[in-house]
Structure 1
């Protein structure tokens, strides 16, 4: 009886350990052409199909490669699939993207990578903030960019998310693919790169009392000086600003703000936007 209980306990422990190991296992990721993302374990690939199993299952599922845009393997390697005139084969070049319904004379604002050029660290929060800032600037100047209309930011970000694209890999995606994904014929792409410096400033204050002798000839002074030191943080920005129309780059400028203050990049974005070919002064 005791041996049966011991065996049961061992089996339960084994099941728990196996379940924990499976839960911590890194999975492959299949990005389909309809933007569906499947997290799985790929067991077999051929020129026509990919076989995989879902987490916690052993059933093998077969998927035609014509339905796949990209596979991100658990190892970190990515593979894109190009499908032309019925010929399905893996490709290391650009991926074929199912186009969204095209909206002519529409401009989309891409996420704006916000990168510390010293550490190469990218801030997701600032990338969203910078994208939102540029989007609002375009909305505020809608009469100046007529006949263009600005695609809603939620629509843009939702379509990019379904395609597995964010501020980290936006620069690696071809513009023609982005136009197909977003269904627009105009795109504005910006990037903010910066470094941070510090400096100390010293301020001296003098105060004193003068005493005059009775004969009005001798002057005695008592001076007191105080020096205050302050540390100042400086932000040195470079703003990259590109515009595309029907895959062609129609405007490309780089600007460094005159002032090295925290939000000076915003002034550079405004400056470059007003000098872009889509902007007409009223």
Structure 2
């Protein structure tokens, strides 16, 4: 092999090694709050923005930190951006609410306050159960609410938790703010209010044996009487059911179940959902 050919082979090998090294270069990853992932090279960070460049480009792009959930650096280090820790400008003690990019045709199910109207006490477990029940009903009827997509319940509750919102104060938060926090343009909000009452019924069972005397033909009877008391608890529900689109209320109904049994509120939820404007019969 002459010198020229040898030089050409070495040069091609060098270029290949350089190209491979560049192609194998690890990139930083920006995970946005709308779940978009940007693979890039981060050049600069500040309290307000992160500047980065895309692979193969030198142009630097600035991204507001309020849109970022986490950054996974090429070095292996991760940094989480918790907007709930941010504070509002001087003179306002309220926390800054993170705003997500609104995803069109997406609906979120809010926690469902489950409140005893006699003492105004709410149950966190029942609020989660009722929310999950309504969420599953929407999933089961996904073909009937097309083109709407139901936001995953874990995502909804995680975003609400970061914003300091739960079943106790969900009614105090404006729908417009909730849509921005959750990044949806549709919201279903329900509430279950109830009272309880009990009643006791007594059932008596009689049994007796008759005996005839051979001497005087008189009838003798030994009676046995048993009384059983049954206590029944009655639940009287009022179900409030609201739907919003782009912060405007599009549906609002109140319903009281016909039966006063423990889970009758679930039937009312199904009834109201099927008569809401998002539901289309197939």
TM range (shorter): 0.5 to 0.7
* 3-state secondary structure, aligned to 1:65: coil
> How many residue pairs align between the two structures?
204
Task: Give me the whole-angstrom Cα distance separating, in 2, the residues matched to 1:38 and 1:104.
Answer: 28
* TM-score, structure 1 as length reference: 0.65
Aligned to 1:202: 202
Q: Structure 1 stretches of 5 or more lacking a match?
A: 1-31, 40-62, 72-78, 82-96
Does the 8 Å contact 2:237/2:265 carry over to 1? Answer: yes
After alignment, is 172-181 or 98-107 more displaced? 98-107
Aligned to 1:119: 119
Aligned to 2:230: 230
* 3-state secondary structure, aligned to 2:171: helix
CA displacement at 1:212 relative to structure 2: 5.0
Aligned to 1:21: none
- Judged with a 3 Å threshold, the aligned counterparts in structure 2 of structure 1 residues 197 and 159 are, in CA distance, closer, same or farther, namely same
Aligned to 1:37: 84
* 3-state secondary structure, aligned to 1:166: coil
Q: Deviations over 1:169-217 (max 9, x none)?
A: 11011111111111111100000111121221111111122345679x8
CA displacement at 1:265 relative to structure 2: 1.1
Instruction: Write out aligned runs for 1:63-212 (5 A).
Output: 65=89, 71=93, 79=94, 97-211=97-211
Task: Give me the whole-angstrom Cα distance separating, in 1, the residues matched to 2:174 and 2:221.
Answer: 75
Q: Deviations over 1:69-93 (max 9, x none)?
A: x73xxxxxxx478xxxxxxxxxxxx
Q: Deviations over 1:2-39 (max 9, x none)?
A: xxxxxxxxxxxxxxxxxxxxxxxxxxxxxx97762339
- Judged with a 3 Å threshold, the aligned counterparts in structure 2 of structure 1 residues 184 and 152 are, in CA distance, closer, same or farther, namely same
Q: Deviations over 1:125-146 (max 9, x none)?
A: 1111111110011001111111
Task: Give me the whole-angstrom Cα distance separating, in 1, the residues matched to 2:197 and 2:166.
Answer: 29
Task: Give me the whole-angstrom Cα distance separating, in 2, the residues matched to 1:158 and 1:80.
Answer: 17
* 3-state secondary structure, aligned to 1:115: strand
Aligned to 1:256: 256
Q: Structure 2 stretches of 5 or more lacking a match?
A: 1-64, 68-81
Task: Give me the whole-angstrom Cα distance separating, in 2, the residues matched to 1:186 and 1:206.
Answer: 62
CA displacement at 1:104 relative to structure 2: 0.7
Larger radius of gyration between Structure 1 and Structure 2 = 2
Task: Give me the whole-angstrom Cα distance separating, in 2, the residues matched to 1:138 and 1:131.
Answer: 11
* TM-score, structure 2 as length reference: 0.65
After alignment, is 123-132 or 205-214 more displaced? 205-214
Q: Report whether the alignment pairs 1:280 with 2:280.
A: yes
Aligned to 1:25: none
- Judged with a 3 Å threshold, the aligned counterparts in structure 2 of structure 1 residues 235 and 33 are, in CA distance, closer, same or farther, namely farther
Aligned CA-pair RMSD? 2.7
Task: Give me the whole-angstrom Cα distance separating, in 2, the residues matched to 1:138 and 1:211.
Answer: 68
Task: Give me the whole-angstrom Cα distance separating, in 1, the residues matched to 2:235 and 2:102.
Answer: 40
Q: Report whether the alignment pairs 1:241 with 2:265.
A: no
